[in-house]
Amino acid sequence: MVAPAVAVAVAAGGLRYAPEDGGWIEYAAMGCWTGLILLVAAAGEEILVRGYPLRVLAERWGRWPALAATSASFSALHGANPGVGGVALLNILLAGVLLGIVCLKTGDLWWATGMHAGWNLATGFLADLPVSGIRLVDAPLVEVSGGGAALWTGGDFGLEGGLAATLALALAVTVVARTGIVPSRWPEVPVESNRENG
């Protein structure tokens, strides 16, 4: 998802990449360390928003209302981040929908956690951009400059604050919603029926 978003940000928004000093060992070490930190952070957010809350709300209200409520909460959690704007909040809402659909389709929080951590790693380290308004690292070997249109690139908020990410996330939501990744392990029957059956 990040690659097409970066491609659009480069083509339409004027984001530019150039080589930077550094070595491959330093790059690999920083990538591993960044990936570990981002995995822990993504797991925490997924547990908080889509772990227990999504499952309970899906069983009580149905999947779509639960998805809407948890996605709105996910967006609101990022509302105080530096440089946040309307497009950024919309994109984080879309990301919440995507991650929620992945949880509902797989019945497994780890798929969403991996996708969440992967997005952040690809954005914050590989693309060397801020993640949700926070500059995580300055990756060696890659230098990025965004003197173009912040509406497309996301400006200081990073890729998630621009229309390039909106297009990529909307496409990802459509693809994931229409495909059967794996059958859900969550039962379709109400909670009361589960209790009666054992």
Give tens-digit pLDDT for 68-83: 999 999 999 999 999 9
What are the pLDDT digits (tens) for 5-64? Answer: 999 998 888 888 988 888 899 999 999 999 999 999 999 999 999 988 999 999 999 999
Question: Partners of 142 in the beta sheet?
Answer: 19
Residue among 69, 91, 87, 89 at smallest CA distance from 78: 89
What are the pLDDT digits (tens) for 108-152? Answer: 899 999 999 999 999 999 999 999 999 988 888 888 886 678 899
**How, if at all, do strands 142-146 and 15-19 pair?**
antiparallel
- Please check whether residue 150 is in contact with residue 162, taking contact to mean a CB–CB distance below 8 angstroms: yes
Identify the burial level of 40 via C-beta atoms within 10 angstroms of its C-beta, where 0-12 means exposed, 13-18 middle and 19 or more buried: exposed
pLDDT at 181: 52
- Please check whether residue 58 is in contact with residue 66, taking contact to mean a CB–CB distance below 8 angstroms: yes
Dihedral sign, Cα of residue 51, residue 52, residue 53, residue 56: positive
pLDDT at 182: 46
Of the pLDDT bands very low, low, confident and very high (cuts 50, 70, 90), residue 190 is very low
Of the pLDDT bands very low, low, confident and very high (cuts 50, 70, 90), residue 180 is low
> Per the confidence metrics, is the pTM higher than 0.75?
yes
Of the pLDDT bands very low, low, confident and very high (cuts 50, 70, 90), residue 101 is very high
- Please check whether residue 111 is in contact with residue 103, taking contact to mean a CB–CB distance below 8 angstroms: yes
How far apart (Å, rounded) are the C-alpha atoms in residues 102 and 111?
A: 7
Between 163 and 191, the more confident residue is 163
pLDDT at 74: 96
Question: Partners of 143 in the beta sheet?
Answer: 18
Dihedral sign, Cα of residue 70, residue 74, residue 80, residue 83: negative
Query: Is residue 187 scored above 60 in pLDDT?
Result: no
How far apart (Å, rounded) are the C-alpha atoms in residues 48 and 179?
A: 26
Compute how many other C-beta atoms are within 10 angstroms of the C-beta atom of residue 185: 9
